[in-house]
Structure 1
Amino acid sequence: MDSLAATPGTGPATSPLPVIRAARKQRTFEDLPTDRTVVLGVLNVTPDSFSDGGRFARPDDAVAAGLRMLYGGADIIDVGGESTRPNAVPVDPAEEQKRVLPVIETLAKAGALISIDTMNASTAALALDAGAGIVNDVSGTDMDPDMPALIAERGVPYVLMHGRGDARTMSGLAEYKDVVEDVLAEIMEVRDRLYNGGVSPEQIIVDPGLGFAKTEEHNWALLRSLDRFDVLGHRLLIGTSRKRFLGTLLSTSGKAAPPEERDSATVATTALAAAAGVWGVRVHDVAANLDAVKVSAAWNG
Structure 2
Amino acid sequence: MTWRCGKHEISLARPRIMGVLNVTPDSFSDGGTHASPDAAIEWGLKLLDDGADIIDVGGESTRPGFRPVSPDEEAKRVIPVIRALADAGAVVSVDTRHPEVARLAVKLGASIVNDVTGFTNPDMVRVAVESDCGCVVMHAGEVSGRTPRRSVTLDSSAAARAAAHAKDDAEKHDEPTAAEAADAAAAERLDEVMRRSARGVTSPTVTLAGGNRRFTLPDSGPIMRHVMGFLGDQARELMRAGVSRDRICIDPGPGFGKLADEDVVIQRANAKMVSMGYPVMCAVSRKRFVGAVSGVTEAPARDAATAGVCIAAVEAGTRILRVHDVAGVSQALNSYWSVAHPDPRRAFVALGSNVGDRLDYLRRAVSLINAIPLTCVTGVSRAYETDPAYGIAMPVANAVAEIRTELAPLVLIDELLGVEKKLGRTRPAGQEGHGPRTIDCDLLWMEGETHAGRKLALPHPRLGERDFVIVPMEDLMHDPERFLAHAGISVLPREQRVGLVRADLGEISWE
TM-score bin, normalised by smaller chain: 0.7 to 0.9
**CA-atom RMSD in angstroms:** 2.0
Q: CA deviation at 1:28?
A: 4.9
Report the equivalent of 1:259: 299
**Does residue 147 of structure 1 match 2:124?**
yes
SS at match of 1:146: helix
Cα pair 1:50 1:85 within 8 Å, conserved = yes
Q: Measure the CA separation in 2 of the matches of 1:34 and 1:206.
A: 14
Instruction: Go from structure 1 to structure 2 and tell me whether the alpha carbon gap of 1:102 and 1:287 turns closer, same or farther (over 3 Å shift).
Output: same
Equivalent in 208, 214, 230 of residue 252 of structure 2: 208
Once the two structures are superposed, residues 65-113 of structure 1 have per-residue CA deviations (whole angstroms, 9 ceiling, x without a partner) of 1010012221000000000112211110000000000111111111111
* TM superposition shift of 1:203: 1.2
What is the CA deviation profile of residues 141-187 of structure 1, one whole-angstrom value per residue up to 9, with x for unaligned ones? x7221111221221221000111234321157779972111101111
Deviating beyond 3 angstroms after TM superposition, the runs of 4 or more aligned structure 1 residues are 32-35, 171-177
Give secondary structure in 2 for the equivalent of 1:53.
coil
What is the match of residue 8 of structure 2? 29
Structure 2 counterparts to residues 83-162 of structure 1, below 5 A: 83-140=61-118, 143-162=120-139
Long gaps (5+) in structure 2: 1-5, 142-183, 198-217, 343-511
Distance change >3 Å, CA 34–CA 190, structure 1 → 2: closer
Pick the structure with more strand per residue.
Answer: 2
CA contact (8 A) 2:274 2:318 kept: no
Alignment gaps of 5+ in structure 1 = 1-26
Give the 3 Å change call, closer, same or farther, for CA 231–272 of structure 1 in structure 2. closer
Aligned match of 2:191: 168
**2:270 aligned partner:** 226
Please tell me whether residue 70 in structure 1 is matched to residue 71 in structure 2: no
Q: 1:249 to 1:294 in 2, by over 3 A?
A: same
Q: 1:238-282: CA deviations, max 9, x gaps?
A: 11111111122333xxxx520111011011111111222212000
Alignment of 1:263-274 (within 5 A): 263-274=303-314
Query: Partners in 2 of 1:258 and 1:111 — Cα distance?
Result: 34
Does the aligned pair in 1 maintain the 2:63–2:194 contact within 8 Å?
no
Partner amino acid for 1:77? I
Q: Distance in 1 between matches of 2:130 and 2:7?
A: 18
Amino acid of the structure 2 residue aligned with 1:151: A
Larger Rg: 2
Aligned amino acid, residue 129 of structure 2:
A
- Of all paired residues, the percent bearing the same amino acid is 40
Cα deviation, residue 33, structure 1 = 4.3
Task: Report the counterpart of residue 22 of structure 1 in structure 2.
Answer: none
SS of equivalent residue, structure 2 residue 235: helix
Provide the rounded CA distance (Å) in 2 between the counterparts of 1:66 and 1:99. 14
Q: Which amino acid aligns with 1:145?
A: P
Q: Which amino acid aligns with 2:139?
A: H
Partners in 2 of 1:297 and 1:191 — Cα distance?
Answer: 29
